[in-house]
């Protein structure tokens, strides 16, 4: 993780960190804080605890998001202070809807100049957000009228960071559960870091190819980091730490308490393995999950060569 962040995340970069409730690469956010990155534009559909922590670490100057909150468990104290009181510094917050963010990633992934959507009609967002424009369709509808429609610009991050269950050493990445916008966010970026619970042999990936949501050609770095999502969860590997989510509102409400937490849990740990060890065996045991296997798939293979295979045959017609 240390090497991947050092190589691909730089001061002033546009960084996308994606994962929707599930598979949030929190450990990558912690390493960005440890390395003291500054003036980042962070793109994250659901701005949650990792955003609050990176703000407190002084990493973010601009936030592009469609949701702000402590995942149904409370508030984000640092984010609220910056938005409501510019304390200790203002935050440039660029707000879109969830679907608007999806459209921005789609435009970025397809290298389009914009992406159309209808859902901003009737919304206040276009009034406060300059990143939404109306254009006139070049094609008439059935009545011969040329419709006006909203469009949003592409997102092309300098680097996208996502989490998944497994990948091979080349970067072919497999994921199940809530897959979110990971694939599009990776293809939209100039570089991509994939954090996984485990790196597996090529044969494991080839045995179940439909689970490969991100191909190796789109990946610059693969980081094996078990438990990297805490306090989020990774389907099949760890559960959601609801106790931590409930405690965060109290931790982040007071700047001194939050600063002390960063000193102890991020600056005071060398890497994510030390962070997990600090959580302790009791907590880690509580977050373990059992097996829930999902059957087998038969893709089929030919048992014997067909008669005359490889020989020239006449057209039966």
**Beta carbons within 10 angstroms of residue 317's beta carbon:** 3
- What angle is formed at CA 40 by the lines to CA 39 and CA 42, rounded to 5 degrees? 145
Q: Using alpha carbons only, what angle is made at residue 59 by residues 57 and 64, rounded to the nearest 5 degrees? A: 120
Would you say residue 311 has pLDDT above 70? no
Question: Angle between the 26-34 and 49-56 helix axes, to the nearest 10 degrees?
Answer: 0
Look over the chain and give the mean of its residue pLDDT values, rounded to a whole number: 94
Nearest 5°: phi and psi at 41? Answer: -95, 110
Beta strands in the chain (DSSP E): 14-17, 40-43, 46-47, 60-65, 67-68, 92-95, 115-117, 133-136, 148-152, 159-167, 173-174, 191-199, 212-214, 221-224
The pLDDT value recorded for residue 103 is 98
Residue 306 pLDDT > 80: no
pLDDT of residue 10: 98
Kindly tell me if the per-residue pLDDT of 3 is higher than 60: yes
pLDDT(297) > 90: no
Rounded to whole angstroms, the Cα distance separating 57 from 76 reads: 14
**pLDDT tier for residue 128 given thresholds of 50, 70 and 90:** confident
Distance CA 92, CA 41 (A): 9
The pLDDT assigned to 295 comes to 79
DSSP assignment of 232-287 equals SBBTTTB---HHHHHHHHHHHHSHHHHHHHHIIIIIT-SSHHHHHHHH-HHHHHHT
Question: For a pLDDT cut of 70, what percent of the chain falls above it?
Answer: 96
Q: Which pLDDT does position 309 carry in this prediction? A: 58
Strand partners, 238: 234
Residue 172 Cα to chain centre, angstroms: 17
C-alpha torsion angle, residues 262, 266, 267, 272 (rounded to 10): 180
Report the pLDDT value the prediction gives residue 97, as an integer from 0 to 100: 95
How far apart, in whole angstroms, are the C-alpha atoms of residue 206 and residue 266? 37
What pLDDT digit, counting tens, does each position of 229-288 carry?
999 999 999 999 999 999 999 999 999 999 999 999 999 999 999 999 999 999 999 999
pLDDT digits (tens, 9 = 90+) for 170-198: 999 999 999 989 999 999 999 999 999 99
**Using 50, 70 and 90 to split pLDDT, how confident is the model at 142?**
very high
pLDDT of residue 215: 98
pLDDT band at residue 65, thresholds of 50, 70 and 90?
A: very high
How does pLDDT run across 195-226, given as a tens digit for each residue? 999 999 999 999 999 999 999 999 999 999 99
Q: What angle do CA 91, 240, 275 make, to 5 degrees?
A: 70
Do 192 and 162 meet the contact criterion of CB atoms below 8 Å apart? yes
Confidence class for position 310, pLDDT limits 50, 70, 90: low
- Residue 228 preceded by cis peptide, ω within 30: no
What is the model's pLDDT at position 101?
Answer: 97
What six digits make up the tokens of 187? 């293809």
What confidence score (pLDDT) does residue 54 get? 98
Q: Rounded to an integer, what distance in angstroms lies between the CA atom of residue 1 and that of residue 273?
A: 11
Convert the pLDDT of each residue in 79-118 to its tens digit: 999 999 999 999 999 999 999 999 999 999 999 999 999 9
């Amino acid at each position: 993780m240390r090497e991947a962040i050092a190589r691909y995340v730089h001061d002033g970069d546009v960084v996308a960190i994606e994962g929707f409730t599930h598979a949030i690469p929190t450990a990558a956010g912690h390493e960005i804080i440890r390395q003291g990155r500054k003036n980042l534009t962070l793109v994250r559909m659901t701005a949650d605890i990792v955003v609050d922590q990176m703000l407190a670490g002084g990493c973010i100057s601009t936030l592009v998001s469609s949701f702000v909150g402590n995942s149904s468990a409370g508030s984000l104290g640092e984010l609220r202070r910056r938005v409501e009181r510019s304390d200790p510094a203002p935050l440039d917050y660029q707000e879109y809807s969830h679907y608007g963010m999806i459209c921005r990633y789609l435009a970025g992934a397809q290298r389009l100049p914009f992406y159309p959507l209808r859902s901003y009609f009737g919304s206040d967002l276009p009034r406060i957000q300059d990143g939404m424009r109306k254009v006139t369709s070049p094609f008439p509808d059935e009545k011969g009228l040329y419709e006006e429609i909203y469009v949003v610009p592409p997102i092309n991050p300098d680097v996208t960071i996502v989490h998944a269950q497994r990948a091979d050493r080349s970067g072919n990445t497999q994921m199940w559960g809530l897959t979110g916008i990971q694939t599009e966010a990776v293809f939209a970026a100039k570089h991509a870091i994939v954090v996984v619970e485990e790196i597996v042999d090529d044969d494991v990936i080839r045995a179940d190819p439909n689970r490969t949501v991100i191909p190796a050609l789109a990946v610059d770095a693969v980081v094996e980091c078990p438990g990297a999502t805490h306090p989020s969860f990774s389907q099949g590997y760890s559960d959601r730490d609801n106790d931590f989510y409930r405690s965060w509102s109290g931790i982040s409400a007071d700047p001194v308490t939050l600063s002390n937490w960063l000193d102890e849990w991020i600056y005071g740990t060398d890497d994510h393995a030390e962070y997990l060890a600090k959580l302790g065996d009791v907590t880690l045991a509580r977050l373990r999950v059992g097996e829930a296997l999902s059957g087998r798939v038969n893709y089929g293979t030919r048992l014997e060569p067909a008669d005359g295979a490889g020989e020239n045959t006449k057209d039966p017609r």
